[in-house]
Amino acid sequence: MSVWMRPPKRKREQPSLSREQIVSAAIELLDAEGIDALSMRKLGTRLDVAAASMYTHVAGKDELSELVVDEVYGEVALPEPGPWRTAATTFAQDLRSVFLRHPWIGSLLGEAGVAYLGPNVLKLSEAALALFEDAGFSLDDADLAWNTVMAFVVGRATSEAAWLTTLKRSGQSEQEWKDRLWPAAEQAVRDHPRLKKLYAAQRNQKPGETNDDDFERGLACVLAGLATRLP
């Protein structure tokens, strides 16, 4: 079952607690402590209520995951009408920013059941389909374009978020990590000429700038490829 597939329970509402409060507290907990911290017991402690009192609003952790994922997608600005490549680029940049702001989101996506039925995801999908359809794509190709952009951004941003989580746990800056790792990396690629050349070229680049540049160039390639589907 999914939170989107059942009617609300008809129990008397507790005035001191709402589903919105539960979801907000869950996101705060995840931001502060990461994916391993999410449990109904810990959430109850954060809200200062018994875990059982939350089940009127959320049946369990699976439903909570769906609600949290949809809430995070609600932070992404809807694509606005206009030149489709400009609007798609702005959307992709915003989605990446949201994922990096909540670096645990990638880990939660696989546990979020039918998150695509959430109201925020549905609004986002409808706006994106309208954007691509207005640009001249058929509805099927608009769906393909939307899913392709999503796959690229989610894939890139999830990898970046996982890296940021690793850095946070290490207590090091990205530059400190890179400086410590580099001698071993150069040694590892010594027999791989193409990788050796790439690593040498990246040696003095700032990690954050490299991530931004790689994202923009990759996104431009994706959008250029999609443009070939236009009549």
In tens, the pLDDT along 4-51 reads 776 666 555 545 788 899 999 999 999 999 888 888 888 888 888 887
| Helices and strands, counts by H and E, the chain | 10, 0
b/e code 13-48 from CB counts within 10 Å (16+ = b): eeeebebeebbebbbebbeeeeeeebebeebbebbe
* Confidence band, pLDDT 50/70/90 cuts, at residue 78: very high
CB 142 within 8 Å of CB 133: yes
Q: Is the pLDDT of residue 157 over 70?
A: yes
Rg of the chain in Å (alpha carbons): 21
How much is the pTM? 0.83
CATH class of 77-227: mainly alpha
pLDDT of residue 126: 95
Cβ contacts of 5 within 8 Å, gap of 6 or more: 114, 117
109 closest CA partner among 58, 162, 146? 162
Q: Where are the domains of the chain?
A: 3-72, 77-227
Q: Give the tens place of pLDDT for each residue, 89-122.
A: 999 999 999 999 999 988 888 766 667 888 999 9
Please give the class, per CATH, of domain 3-72. mainly alpha
Fold match flag (3-72 vs 77-227): no
